[in-house]
A = this chain, B = another copy of it.
Amino acid sequence: MSYFDVASSAPLHPVARQALLAALDEGWADPARLHREGRRARLLLDAARETAADAVGCRPDELVFTSSGTRAVHLGVRGARAGRRRIGGRVVVSAVEHSSVLYAAGEDAAEVPVDRTGRVDPEVFAAALTGDTALACLQSANHEVGTEQPVAEAAELCRAAGVPLLVDAAQSLAWGPVDGDWSLLTASAHKWGGPAGVGLLAVRKGVRFAPGEPADERESGRSPGFENIPAIVAAAASLRAVRAEAAGGAARLRALVDLIRTRVPELVPDVEVVGDPVRRLPHLVTFSCLYVDGEALLHALDREGFSVSSGSSCTSGTLTPSHVLRAMGVLSEGNVRISLGAGASGDEVERFLAVLPGVVASVRERLGAPTAPAAGPAARTAGLVLDTLGKRCPIPVIELAKVIGDVPVGETVTVLSDDEAARLDIPAWCGMRGQGYAGEEKRERGSAYVVRRLI
């Protein structure tokens, strides 16, 4: 069994387990109480705060523990925005933030686009910081494709504009502190091998912050609810432990990821490896496979003993492809995210590379995907219309690939589709196949996507 999905949740680090067990006996009491059990709990909580603050790179009194990374983001965004409500309510985010950031920022947030690698241009980010901007949010590294963001540059530009910057460091904190002069930082312990139930919210001194929840004396009034001290102790201890292992682990995993990045496109036809190849998390790589159903691919890999995740629409409850892939403008069908844990071995990666081609081929065969670029016989149809209404990703793209050979070079084919993934995947297919994407036209049901045959 190979678990390649630590970016969703990592198994408990041995140090976390040990610390948790010890703290279950010592840290169950209410740290607000005056009796010895309460004082003991308070001591554990204070020590954990010191340890975690040291790893974050902030003062202990700037750090509070929340019950999850999502809560840290919600509380951080709300508190920072409320603290500057006189300036205005605008929140600037990158288009590839974690959903918790996007939902906390709200529908009227200003989204800064990213390039095809998923990276924000700091100058474009800075240009979005208008006078009524209460808060800017930029992740340290992307959770789906691993691309690192220019956080230090963004932080400097935010300082110059007088806007606090919140950095969601959920995916990167295990690897090191976040560079630059950020104002708020959030993270999540179960991403680094800590237990579930612990998030971090750091708010630098001097940042205006107005807690938005009913009053509660715990955690400086910034995170209501009884502190989960055993889990907090385990989170802090494991953060220190993974940091001690980070440099060696990063080099090793970076090499394994490089192997995957190189070998997958060699082994599997019609694959796009996405994300920045260099400025990226060491342990994470994402690729998409044309003509493949992401859910079927996940299940097939699961049967072969590999646990991975996917940003394909068919693996989401809403049947929409990942907003990250959409913002990057890359293929979403047959999407696979691999995130390696500290224990991942070269043998496991080799076995994955050995298994993947057959798995992809069998999913493609089951879907009737074209196996070779369509030969171009005499065109049967000019102005061909392909009705794929009601069909889900990757069927519209497969149907398109099957008929493109029938379209005279220079002519168009129109694909009717009501699948959300088509909007992303038809242009992506055109890019990969050297065909021309001529645009989308809304229809009563779904859209018409026009593709011009170029080769």
Contacts and interface: CB of A to CB of B under 8 A. Distances in A.
Interface string A67-86: 11111001000000000000
Contact of A302 (B35, B103, B228): B35
Q: Which of A71, A199, A295 gathers the greatest number of chain B CB atoms within 10 Å?
A: A71
A196 B231 contact: yes
Report the contact-size class of chain A (Cβ under 8 Å from the partner): 35 or more
A34 B295 contact: yes
A28 B12 contact: yes
Contacts of A30: 5, 8-9
Given A24-B17, A100-B214, A228 B196 contact: yes
Contact of A298 (B34, B68, B231): B34
A253 to B, nearest CB: 19
A11 B35 contact: no
A299 interface: yes
A327 interface: no
A190 B28 contact: yes
A71 B295 CA distance: 35
A163 B153 CA distance: 54
B307 A36 contact: yes
Interface in A206-249: 213-218, 224-231
Given A35-B309, A299-B34, A29 B9 contact: yes
A70 B216 contact: yes
A250 interface: no
A377 interface: no
A100 to B, nearest CB: 7
Nearest to A305: B36
A416 B180 CA distance: 56
A230 B234 CA distance: 14
Interface string A172-206: 00000000000000001010000111010000000
A28 B11 contact: yes
A387 interface: no
A328 B20 CA distance: 41
A33 B5 contact: yes
Contacts of A152: none
B69 A226 contact: yes
B5 A35 contact: yes
Given A8-B30, A67-B67, A74-B224, A196 B230 contact: yes
Contact of A70 (B21, B36, B226): B226
Contacts of A12: 24-25, 28
A315 interface: yes
A303 to B, nearest CB: 9
A37 interface: yes
A317 interface: yes
A437 interface: no
A217 B318 CA distance: 10
16 contacts: A8-B29, A8-B30, A9-B30, A11-B29, A21-B21, A28-B196, A34-B299, A36-B302, A36-B307, A74-B213, A74-B224, A99-B216, A100-B216, A195-B228, A196-B229, A217-B317
Given A67-B228, A190-B226, 12 more contacts: A5-B38, A12-B28, A28-B195, A34-B309, A35-B309, A74-B213, A100-B224, A103-B215, A104-B214, A188-B226, A196-B228, A196-B231
Interface of A: 1, 3, 5, 8-12, 17, 20-21, 24-25, 28-30, 33-38, 67-71, 74, 99-100, 103-104, 106, 188, 190, 195-197, 199, 213-218, 224-231, 295, 298-299, 302, 307-309, 315, 317
